[in-house]
Amino acid sequence: MTAPTTVAAPAQTDAEPELLLEAQAIGVSFDGVHALDDVSIGIRSHEVFGLIGPNGAGKTTLMNVLSGFQRPTRGRTLVNGADATRWGPEKTVRHGVSRTFQAVRPFPALTVAQNVELGALGVGTRRRVAAERVDYILEALHLSHRRDDFAGKLPHGEERRLGIARALASEPQVLLLDEPAAGANEAESDELVASLRAIKAEFSCSLVVIEHDMRLIMSICERIHVLDYGRSIAEGTPAEIQANPAVREAYLGQVAEAGAGES
Ligand SMILES: Nc1ncnc2c1ncn2[C@@H]1O[C@H](COP(=O)(O)OP(=O)(O)OP(=O)(O)O)[C@@H](O)[C@H]1O
Ligand SMILES: [Mg+2]
C-alpha cells in the first residue's frame, strides 16, 4: 500500500526535538472559572503524546485551543514555530493540525467514503486526489467494507474510526484525538490501538490522544501529560507517569478502582 500523497517532514536542524505544535502558558477562563491555568506542552514529530486526567481536568479545552476552536484567555499556540493563537479552526487544519471530537459527528445521510472525502475537500484538495486518498485511508482504518454504507448506519466502534478517517483526510502533521476509545469494548480498543499504530507509521504524523482507557494510553504513548483541575501535574514516559505519586493520587488510583468495580 502506498500513500497517494505525503506531507514532507521538515528537516531536523539540531539536537533539540523539533516541535510541530506547542501550547505555551495557556490559560482559559469561562466566566471566571479557570478551565486551564498556565499549561504548556510541545508535540514532537512522529510521536504519540497522551493527555490524561480526571473528568473536567481541561483535556478537551486544551485540544480545542490547540485546534483553533477555543481562543485562549492567556498564552499562545505555535504551529511549526508560527504563532497560531488567532488562526481559528479552518486555518489551523490547513496548516496540518486536525482533530476528532469527543462526540462523533459524521454526516449520517452521506456514505462512509463521502464523509472521508469531505475531510480532504475541506482543506482544498482537488476532487480526484481526494477520491484516491479515501480508499487508502479506509483501508488503514479497517473500514473498506463499509465504503458505500451510509455513515448513520455504522455501529459505534466503526463510527468512531470514521471520525479518525475524516480527520486524517486533511493529511495532518498532528492528529488530535479526543477519547477515540470511548464506549469501545476490549476487542474494539485493541483494534483501535492497531489502527493508531498504522496511522503513525503510514501517514507519518504525530498523534495527541486524550483517553481514560489506561491500557491504550500506556501501550501506545511515548510521552504522557497529566492535567488536574486545569493545571499540569506531570509529564513523562508511561513508566514515569505510572510511578508518579501525584498522578496516582489525582487520577490513576480512581481509574484502577473504577476498572476493578466494573469487572
Ligand atoms: N464552553 C464552556 N463553558 C463553560 N465551562 C466550560 C466550557 N467548556 C468546558 N468548561 C469547563 O471547563 C472545565 C474543563 O472541561 P473539559 O471539557 O476541558 O474537561 P475534560 O478534561 O475534557 O473532561 P472529560 O474527561 O469529562 O471529557 C470543566 O469544569 C468544564 O465544566
Ligand atoms: Mg473531554
Angle between helices 112-121 and 156-168 in degrees, nearest 10 = 30
> What ligand has the least distance to the C-alpha of 70?
1
69 falls within a domain: yes
- pLDDT at position 2 is 47
Residue nearest to atom 8 of ligand 1 (CA): 61
Amino acid at 82: A
What's the CA-to-centroid distance between 57 and ligand 1, angstroms?
Answer: 7
- Round to whole Å and give the CA distance between 128 and 120: 11
Residue 90 exposure: Cα atoms within 13 Å on the Cβ side: 4
Amino acid letter, residue 257 = E
CA distance 167 to 200: 14
Chain centroid offset of residue 229 CA = 21
For residue 255, give its domain range. Answer: 19-105+174-259
59 lines ligand 1 (CB under 6 A): yes
Distance 108 CA to ligand 2 centre (A): 23
Q: Quick check: is 163 in a domain?
A: no
Is residue 157 situated within a structural domain? no
Q: How many domains are there within the chain? A: 1
Establish whether residue 103 lines the binding site of ligand 1, counting it when its CB lies within 6 angstroms of any ligand atom: no
Cβ–Cβ under 8 Å, residues 214 and 262:
no
Regions in the chain scoring below 70 on pLDDT: 1-15, 254-263
55 CB less than 6 Å from ligand 1? yes
SS3 113: helix
Q: Which of 203, 193, 46 is nearest to 137 (CA)?
A: 203
Q: How far apart are CA 32 and CA 43, in angstroms?
A: 29
Residue 208 host element (H or E): strand 206-210
pTM for this structure?
0.90
What pLDDT is attached to residue 13?
Answer: 52
Neighbours of 158 (CB within 10 A): 21
Q: Is the CB of 183 under 6 A from ligand 1?
A: no
3-state secondary structure of 7: coil
Q: Which atom from ligand 1 is nearest to the alpha carbon of 227?
A: 21
| Structural domain contains residue 136 | no
Ligand 1, atom nearest to 61 Cα: 18
- Ligand that comes closest to the CA of residue 58: 1
pLDDT digits (tens, 9 = 90+) for 4-60: 554 555 555 556 778 999 999 999 999 989 999 999 999 999 999 999 999 999 999
Q: Which ligand is nearest to the CA of 32?
A: 1
DSSP 176-193: EEESTTTT--HHHHHHHH
Ligand 1: which of 30, 37, 227 to mutate, judged by most atoms within 8 Å of the beta carbon?
Answer: 30
Is 60 touching ligand 1 by the criterion CB < 6 Å?
yes
Which letter does DSSP use for residue 73 in this model? S
Residues 257 and 254: their CA atoms lie apart, in Å, by: 5
- Residue 1's pLDDT is 45
Q: Which helix (H) or strand (E) holds 209?
A: strand 206-210
Is 13 a domain residue? Answer: no
Residue 229 lies in a domain: yes
C-alpha cell at 199: 496511522
CATH number of the domain residue 181 falls in:
3.40.50.300
Question: Can you tell me the distance from the alpha carbon of 185 to that of 34, in angstroms, rounded to the nearest whole number?
Answer: 34
Q: Is residue 5 part of a domain?
A: no
pLDDT at 18: 86
Residue 162 lies in a domain: no
- Residue 70 in contact with ligand 1 by CB distance below 6 A: no
Identify the DSSP state of 252: I
